[in-house]
Every structure is written in structure tokens, then in C-alpha cells.
Amino acid sequence: MTSNGLDEVRIGVVSISDRASSGVYEDKGLPALQDWLGRAVRNPITWVPRLIPDEREGIAAALRDLVDVQGCHLVLTTGGTGPALRDVTPEATLDVADREMPGFGEQMRQISLRFVPTAILSRQTAVIRKQALILNLPGQPKSIAETLEGLRDAEGRAVVPGIFAAVPYCIDLIGGPYIETDANVCAAFRPKSAQRTVLTT
């Protein structure tokens, strides 16, 4: 635990793109993930980034390394979740899974369907490997923020919950650090019995 009373969190962020990883264009996935998470999570974060091509074995190897070697508590991927032949992120994610958490993908599609009917083509999923949660997110920065944060009305009230509201409690249940969020970005939900008072300076 750090001096501010909050546990350090190790977060792996993985952008999966043939063209960005080869330098054809600038990657926007990693900055989008780090920007949103940096605003939402109050704990000190150690980032472990990866920019890799759409190769099933390479993606699976990166996920194993982030959890088994780097000790990440949470891993988020972006890209490679559509139906195109090169989109293999969900398969690679399932390759490393101890358990699947399908509710995350279901909720991401519900959010995206409010904008485009092609959201049903998205194959995002989530899994648990050891004591880490791995989440597949969409490839577009705007969609990343929408799925994590959820949707709000004109007055700023939450209309559709984002998936990140459930992430801290999930990590509690698998033995990870207690994650505090900034409620102005995303209010984490925990049952009263699971809530802690964190003393901060």
C-alpha cells in the first residue's frame, strides 16, 4: 500500500493492429486506454504496454507474459475483435483463459448497439487468468471510452452502466488489489459488505 492509502495496480494495455505495430500509422489504442484509466482509477498505476500485430499465438503469448511474468492485475486489449479473417483477439484471449466472463462482452455490445447496428458483429469477451482479469475492448478511442464509462444523459446522469463499474469488485473476488475509482468518471459498484474505507492523505 502506498502513502496515499491506495494499493498500486499493475495494468497491462495491449493494442492489436498489423498496421500500427508495423509503423504504417500511429497507434491510438494505447493512448486512449491510458487516458481513460488514468482518469478513472485513483490508485497509483504501473503501466505495462504492448503494441503487437494480429497474430493469435503472439497475442496469447503477450497476455500470458503480462499476467504470469509482469504480474498485471488487469489487462485490457483493443482491436482485433470483429469478424474479419485477421481478427483473432477473442480466440487468443480464450486460449489463455482459466474462466470466461461473458457478461462483459454482452454489455459492451448493448452499449455499442445504441450507436450502430453493426455492433452485433463485435466479439469482445473477458476472461480470468490466475488472479487477473483480461478484457477485450473495441478498437476506436471513442468506443473504448463509451464501453468503459457507459452512457449519460444531457444532465450527466448515467443511463447505461459501463463495464468498468464492475471491474474493481471482480478483481476483489479473484484476490487482486482494492481499486478505488473517481465517481465523476465511473462509480465502482460493490455490495456494502465488500466496501472499505480507504484513508487518504
> Where residue 199 falls among pLDDT bands split at 50, 70, 90?
low
> Where residue 157 falls among pLDDT bands split at 50, 70, 90?
confident
CA distance 18 to 35: 22
> Where residue 1 falls among pLDDT bands split at 50, 70, 90?
low
Domain-by-domain residue ranges, the chain? Answer: 9-194
pLDDT digits over 119-151, tens only? Answer: 999 999 999 999 999 999 998 999 999 999 998
Query: And the C-alpha cell for 148?
Result: 468503459
With H, G, I as helix, E, B as strand and everything else as coil, classify residue 174: coil
Query: And the C-alpha cell for 189?
Result: 459498484
Q: Which CATH architecture has domain 9-194?
A: 3-Layer(aba) Sandwich (3.40)
CA distances from residue 199 to 5, 66, 91, 192, 196 in whole angstroms, order as listed: 6, 30, 41, 17, 9
Report residue 72: phi and psi, to 5°: -70, 140
Range 2-14 burial, b when 16+ CB lie within 10 A, else e = eeeebeebbbbbb
Residue 19: exposure state from Cβ atoms within 10 A (0-12, 13-18, ≥19): exposed
**Poorest-confidence range of 52-56, 75-79, 149-153?**
149-153
pTM over cut 0.85: yes
